[in-house]
Amino acid sequence: MHILLALLYVSLVAAPGCTSLPAKGESIRNTIHNIINIAQITLVHIKKVRTKLPVPPQAEVTSYSIEGLTGISHDLGLLDNELQSPFTELLSQIQADVSSLEGRVRSLALTMDCPIHPRPSGETGDNLFPDSHLYLTLTKVQHYLEKLLLNKDKLKVC
């Protein structure tokens, strides 16, 4: 009987510690880890799509600078808009990945009290060269995510 009472007491005392929410610092670390994972998975998706396409023309893209969560969120919003073009329907999985990534970065920025700009509008112009647009968009996203992974420390600052 004493053993049962002791077990009941231990379970009642230990339960609040076991069911508490993670600390803010731990939540931020988990979110950063998730962002990095999504970026890596998206790069795998890009490589998979590239194997299905003919050899791409050489294209140079100007890359965004990665300075902190506010800019990263904005840049990912712009890339998400570009991926929603009718010419990039082949990239629907990558668009979903980038959209998810942008949402997590925005959420992390809000958690860290960073200023967040409104999401960029989804203006996509008519493109006379849809194949070129597809390659260019794919290259932009790939370069941005590679740069983000190299500068993942910027996910800790506004």
Which of 44-48, 59-63, 64-68, 117-121 bottoms out in mean pLDDT, i.e. has the lowest? 59-63
**Residue 76 belongs to a domain:** yes
Residue 77 domain boundaries: 23-156
pLDDT in tens, 10-39: 454 444 444 455 577 788 889 999 999 999
pLDDT in tens, 119-141: 877 655 555 555 667 788 888 99
- Look up the pTM and report it: 0.75
* Complete DSSP assignment for the chain: -HHHHHHHHHHHHHHHHHHSPPPHHHHHHHHHHHHHHHHHHHHHHHHHHHHHSPPPPP---PPPP--SHHHHHHHHHHHHHHHTSGGGGGGHHHHHHHHHHHHHHHHHHHHTT---PPPPP------S-HHHHHHHHHHHHHHHHHHHHHTGGGGG--
Euclidean distance between CA atoms 97 and 103, whole angstroms: 10
**Residue 74 belongs to a domain:** yes
**Residue 18 belongs to a domain:** no
Query: Which whole number is the average pLDDT over 72-93?
Result: 82
Query: Which whole number is the average pLDDT over 91-113?
Result: 91
Widest Cα–Cα separation across the chain: 82
Indicate the number of domains in the chain.
Answer: 1
Among 38, 26, 31, CA closest to 106:
31
**Residue 12 belongs to a domain:** no
Q: What is the CATH number of the domain that holds 65?
A: 1.20.1250
**Residue 14 belongs to a domain:** no
User: Helix 130-150 and helix 69-83: axis angle, to 10°?
Assistant: 160
User: Helix 24-52 and helix 92-111: axis angle, to 10°?
Assistant: 160
**Residue 16 belongs to a domain:** no
**Residue 17 belongs to a domain:** no
Query: Which whole number is the average pLDDT over 95-100?
Result: 92
**Residue 11 belongs to a domain:** no
